């Protein structure tokens, strides 16, 4: 692979209201310094895509944002959310995850009914009122564009759903807790094109009420849905800009080579 300078970067300051920022974020898996100095600002009510080749550090970075790397890696630097550094030691990570929720690559519904997939965390957080629970089930399934398909079978097993439906259920499960930020790690990579399109539509709708950060390998997907895009290369963020600018007029050679398929 061609050597690109890690000093040559183009990272814009976020002109919109910020929902989350990382300041000099670094991640170590033992001796492997997997993420170097990631300093980024994420906008509220927008979609930001993280792109880059396999192993460039996208998932590593994303997992830091709601402390999913605890016990796996050493994470240094600041992650500022509502004036609090959520990367500091004294933070309750379960509280963090109520505000910053993660959807994984493979749909992972619980072996419970569709309804219970949604209500499980709500009940654990003290919501017992049946009407409130029913309301949250309906609202979150509607937000994830799944309600019309499952409203008559809420008590059936979630394991009977298709992959695309199961992934939308996982999104609904997050949304039911009313987080601020949704993190998605390649949520459509295991899905067919129709299910992928449905997930993309769902994310476009969710963007009105949530701030979304999505890892994707799919550059068309990033250019279709993301307002801002960050390009990762070998554990460095080399470029961050409005998606349209990054794809039509990249400022960094590595980004240009990656998006034009001349990488490696």
Ligand X SMILES: Nc1ncnc2c1ncn2[C@@H]1O[C@H](COP(=O)(O)OP(=O)(O)OP(=O)(O)O)[C@@H](O)[C@H]1O
List for the chain the helix, strand, coil content (%; round to 5): 35, 25, 40
- Verify binding: residue 16, ligand X, rule CB under 6 A: no
Residues facing 239 on adjacent strands: 10, 231
Q: Give the number of other CB atoms < 10 A from CB of residue 149.
A: 16
- Verify binding: residue 54, ligand X, rule CB under 6 A: yes
Q: Of the candidates 20, 25, 34, 213, which one interacts with ligand X according to CB under 6 A?
A: 34
In the shown chain, the binding pattern of residues 216 to 245 toward ligand X, with x for contact by CB under 6 A and - for none, equals: -x----------------------------
Q: Of the candidates 9, 22, 48, 56, which one interacts with ligand X according to CB under 6 A?
A: 56
- Verify binding: residue 187, ligand X, rule CB under 6 A: no
Q: Of the candidates 26, 60, 87, 119, which one interacts with ligand X according to CB under 6 A?
A: 60
Q: How many CA atoms lie within 13 A of 16 on its CB side?
A: 15
Q: Which is nearer to ligand X, 217 or 245 (CB)?
A: 217
CB of 263 to ligand X, least distance (A): 13
Output DSSP code: residue 248.
H
Rg over CA atoms, the chain: 19
How many residues bind ligand X (CB under 6 A)? The answer is: 13
CB of 78 to ligand X, least distance (A): 20
In the numeric block, which tokens belong to residue 214?
A: 């999505």
E strand or H helix at 61: helix 58-64
Q: Which is nearer to ligand X, 59 or 167 (CB)?
A: 59
- Verify binding: residue 107, ligand X, rule CB under 6 A: no
Q: How many CA atoms lie within 13 A of 231 on its CB side?
A: 28
Q: Which is nearer to ligand X, 172 or 231 (CB)?
A: 231
Q: Of the candidates 32, 108, 125, 262, which one interacts with ligand X according to CB under 6 A?
A: 32
Return the axis-axis angle of helices 193-206 and 130-143, rounded to nearest 10°. Answer: 120
CB of 222 to ligand X, least distance (A): 13
CA 52/CA 50 separation, integer angstroms: 7
- Verify binding: residue 33, ligand X, rule CB under 6 A: no
Residues facing 41 on adjacent strands: 21
Binding region for ligand X (CB under 6 A): 29, 32, 34, 52, 54-60, 72, 217
């Amino acid at each position: 692979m061609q050597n690109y300078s890690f000093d040559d970067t183009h990272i814009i300051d976020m002109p919109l209201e910020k929902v989350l920022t990382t300041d000099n974020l670094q991640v170590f898996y033992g001796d492997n310094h997997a993420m170097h100095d990631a300093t980024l600002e994420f906008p509220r009510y927008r979609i930001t895509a993280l792109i880059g080749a396999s192993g460039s550090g996208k998932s590593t970075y994303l997992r830091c944002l709601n402390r999913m790397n605890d016990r796996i890696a050493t994470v240094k630097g600041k992650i500022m959310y509502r004036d609090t550094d959520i990367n500091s030691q004294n933070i309750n990570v379960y509280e963090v995850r109520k505000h910053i929720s993660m959807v994984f690559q493979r749909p992972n519904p619980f072996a419970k009914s569709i309804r219970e997939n949604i209500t499980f965390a709500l009940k654990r957080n003290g919501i017992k009122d049946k009407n409130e629970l029913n309301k949250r089930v309906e609202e979150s399934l509607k937000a994830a564009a799944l309600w019309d398909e499952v409203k008559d079978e809420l008590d059936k097993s979630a394991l009977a759903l298709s992959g695309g439906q199961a992934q939308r259920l996982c999104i609904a499960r997050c949304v039911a807790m009313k987080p601020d930020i949704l993190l998605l790690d390649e949520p459509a990579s295991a899905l067919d094109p129709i299910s992928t399109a449905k997930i993309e539509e769902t994310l476009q709708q969710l963007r009105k009420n949530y701030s979304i950060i999505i890892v994707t390998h799919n550059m068309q997907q990033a250019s279709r849905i993301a307002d801002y895009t960050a390009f990762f290369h070998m554990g460095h963020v080399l470029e961050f800009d409005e998606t349209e600018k990054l794809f039509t007029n990249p400022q960094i050679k590595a980004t240009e080579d990656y998006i034009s398929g001349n990488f490696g």
